[in-house]
Amino acid sequence: MTPPYKRAIKLKSYATRSKKKKIEALIRRYRKQVNLFIDHCWQNENAKLDKTTFDSVEIVQNLSQRYKATAQRRALSLCSHPMTKNKPKFTGYPVLDAKFITIKSNKTSNLFDLWIGVSVLKKGHRIQLPTKKHKRLNYWLSKENATLIQGCELRPDGFIVWVDTPLEKRKETGMDIGVDIGMNKLIMTSYGESIGTDFNTLNDRILRKQKNSAAYKKILQEKKNYINQCINELPWQQLKTICYENLKNLKKGRKRNKSLRQKQQYWSYRQVIDGLKLKAQENRVRLVYINPAYTSQKCSSCGNIAASSRVLEKYCCVACGHKQDADWNAATNILHKGQEWITSLKSVKSKNQILTAIS
């Protein structure tokens, strides 16, 4: 049996205002409890997930022992995370399992077909929050052996729930392509199609908006939709493999004084990759990421590497005279690199098979 795969799905809460207020209060108390544990762990390096730690920290008013226990686990995992250097401040949401959450379908109501019960305070009493199944949730639930996990991440305006589905085998026939992700064209493919050619204009509009204004939030959503539309334009039915680059030129920009434009670039890149991953899973397409070294300087025809071959949007090989759109040339190189990698992997596997046969 292939191991199950957890897919996170966001659902909107349609709870009444008074119920929502109760949830908000619960989230506030939970955060406070986690931060109390963090304070304790930060002062006592040897704090463990045990009764001593549990008893040393006071309980937030109106919070149950059970909630306190999950808050303790959360705090310890935050403090012991290898990336944690400074004292963390917890501002996230409670992730709750079946001890706190029941999810039930409601077949009699057309309006809200899913109800999430959250245990708030009183034993046995759960407040019921209505929500709706949507296309994406139904899609994953329709898969064979898919199950909706009893639990969620609880947010003021909704929930993140998880569907367990067995991993499906990747496609064995179809087209391999390379993609170059950029700002002038969001996606340039190795077969010469450019997708999302007005992405830069959209980015300029974002940069002109005042940060955190309503207009800013609106345009960020517009960007997200734009990116997803572009990803959907790829010929998913026909694809077997997509090769893409690991973050290019952006690693250098990891310094503190990154410009806003660079930050936008970084996030756009991440959004494209996340979108590709999601669609690739749905379509059983293999994703291969390659090292970005020289993909924009190398000639996709003769293999010569020269920075001078690339002038802005044009690639003209100084060795063989090959002319191509610079991003298209890069996408072709990305495809070649990805295919080389797949071939080398196959040969390693076959070598191993030979070795096992001999021994």
Q: Which residues bind Zn ion (CB under 5 A)?
A: 299, 301-302, 304, 317, 319-320, 322
State the minimum distance, in angstroms, from the CB of residue 219 to Zn ion: 41
State the minimum distance, in angstroms, from the CB of residue 341 to Zn ion: 22
Q: What H or E segment, with its residue span, contains residue 288?
A: strand 286-290
How are beta strands 286-290 and 239-245 bridged, if at all? parallel
State the SS3 of 34-96.
HHHHHHHHHHCCCCCCCHHHHHHCCCCCCCCHHHHHHHHHHHHHHHCCCCCCCCCCCCCCCEE
Transcribe 341-358 into DSSP letters.
Answer: HHHHHHHHHHHHHHHHHH
Question: CB 185: neighbour CB atoms within 10 A?
Answer: 23
**3-state class of 174 per DSSP?**
coil
Residue closer to Zn ion by CB (options 206, 326) is 326
State the minimum distance, in angstroms, from the CB of residue 301 to Zn ion: 5
Q: CA 158, CA 118: separation in Å to the nearest integer? A: 12
Closest to 198 in 3D by CA, of 217, 182, 218, 179? 182
State the minimum distance, in angstroms, from the CB of residue 187 to Zn ion: 24
State the minimum distance, in angstroms, from the CB of residue 323 to Zn ion: 10
Q: In angstroms, what is the C-alpha Rg of the chain?
A: 25
State the minimum distance, in angstroms, from the CB of residue 304 to Zn ion: 5
State the minimum distance, in angstroms, from the CB of residue 320 to Zn ion: 3
Residue closer to Zn ion by CB (options 33, 332) is 332
Residue closer to Zn ion by CB (options 192, 321) is 321
State the minimum distance, in angstroms, from the CB of residue 335 to Zn ion: 16
Q: CA 348, CA 359: separation in Å to the nearest integer? A: 16
Residue closer to Zn ion by CB (options 49, 307) is 307
**3-state class of 223 per DSSP?**
helix
